[in-house]
Structure 1
Amino acid sequence: MTLTAFISAGACAMATHSALEEAGLDYEMQLIDLKKGEQKTPEYLAINPAGVTPALKTDQGVITQNAAILGWVAATHPDKKLAPVGDAFAMARFDAFNGWLASSLHPAIGKVLFSRPPLEGQAKDDATEQALAKYDLAEQRLVEGPYVFGDDWTLADNYLAVFTRWARQAKLLDADRFPKLNAHLDRVQQRPAMQRMLKAEGLEPVAA
């Protein structure tokens, strides 16, 4: 199988990149520089017309969206135990959590950190509180134990760590307000696959 991963260093595509590392797959990595607008070039738009990363080129075609790529990696490599493949209900919960990350948490924290022009004043304060309310939901209701689904790690944990990493970098992941999420991020950042992914992207784990 020939795989090419189109990712952006430090962006949400870290979820896809780490999934490929967790599965131990051979792949070519192509970095797309979002600041330079490389995601809007004709060459990249021919791969992903939405003009965002990640995208994964497979022998069958291109897959986009982290949630879909994580599901594909897990389903095509069940021996790696990356997700509860084979349990329809558990996989639905896996997909639902990843969908929440993509459609709820990501837009909320993305608005705070990446709005152009940057948010200021009351608008920034309001957006920050709305984002932190999403983290509260994860802290209090959605993360069930040491990992998202209790004692068993899945690729959903790596995906969540993208956004807790961003929050910690921005000094928003308060240790008292989010003890579970802070411990979770520390735990996930220790995974060898995560460390390989970060090194390949020229990044370091974010310390508390």
Structure 2
Amino acid sequence: MLKLYYNPGTIALASHIALEESGADYEAKKLNPAIMEHTKPEYLAINPKGRVPSLVTDRGILTETPAILLYIAQVYGASAFPPPEDPYDLAQLQSFNNYLCSTLHVNHAHRKRGRRWVDEQNTAAIKAMEIKVKSNMEECFQMIEDEMFEGPWVMGPDYSIADPYLFTITQWMEGDGVDPADFPKLLAHRKAMLARPAVARVVAEHAAK
């Protein structure tokens, strides 16, 4: 059985949705953010990076969302996430997911985790990073809205592992000061995702106390 470690409110939601959609036999283990459980020795023995998600498989432990999503799609999710047959199409899918990983997620992290980039005493720099998050995220969402989103799903007519990933990051819009109404395609995508029973189940689980 697969085992997914996650924190509520994090990017781990994407991997959790993918597992639920795929029908794989898995267990979801919620870590306790109140005690920073992801930084404790027990979890660091699973993922020394101290981040979520982590996916325990029968062959070892996978980390990093793009890798976990691709693994789920290729091993368990052929019906929910038909893998692209053409290498170029697969590369395009990975290009989209890696943009979310390397650019949007990093931009978002500057709002609460500026101390990753500057010393804690440099409060002016930390504040400047927080202020910049809104415009950085808006710029990225506009790029996706105008250039990268095929519709009705990310890659076109077929649901793919890019959809739970994009959905998870658009969940952060309001917190980052971004108005979802400014991005009608992404807002419609969010609503379509929430209408999927598997997505609704996982979202409810993450929201539960």
TM-score, normalising length: structure 2: 0.87
Does 2:107 match 1:108?
A: yes
Contact 1:148–1:157 (8 Å) recurs in 2: yes
Aligned residues: 200
How far is the alpha carbon of 1:136 from its aligned partner? 1.1
How far is the alpha carbon of 1:84 from its aligned partner? 2.5
Partner of residue 154, structure 2:
148
Identity %: 34
Does 2:188 match 1:183?
A: yes
Quick check: 67-76 or 27-36, which moved more? 27-36
State the secondary structure of the residue aligned to 1:140: helix
Counterpart of 1:195 (choices 179, 197, 200) is: 200
Map 1:46-57; keep pairs closer than 5 Å: 46-57=45-56
State the secondary structure of the residue aligned to 2:173: helix
Q: Which amino acid aligns with 2:75?
A: T
CA pair 81-30 structure 1, distance change in 2 beyond 3 A: closer
Structure 2 residue runs without a partner (length 5+): none
- 2-structure distance, mates of 1:123, 1:78: 38
CA pair 39-192 structure 1, distance change in 2 beyond 3 A: same
Partner of residue 171, structure 2:
165
Does 2:134 match 1:128?
A: yes
- 2-structure distance, mates of 1:150, 1:102: 20
CA pair 79-174 structure 1, distance change in 2 beyond 3 A: closer
CA pair 123-23 structure 1, distance change in 2 beyond 3 A: closer
Does 2:36 match 1:37?
A: yes
Tell me which stretches of 4 or more aligned residues in structure 1 moved more than 6 Å. Answer: none
State the secondary structure of the residue aligned to 1:80: coil
Quick check: 62-71 or 123-132, which moved more? 123-132
- 2-structure distance, mates of 1:49, 1:123: 27
Deviations 1:77-135 (A, max 9, x none): 35314143433221111111111111001111221255467954x54332321221111
Partner of residue 70, structure 1:
69
Contact 1:83–1:91 (8 Å) recurs in 2: no
Partner of residue 87, structure 1:
86
CA pair 78-87 structure 1, distance change in 2 beyond 3 A: farther
CA pair 81-89 structure 1, distance change in 2 beyond 3 A: farther
Contact 2:23–2:77 (8 Å) recurs in 1: no
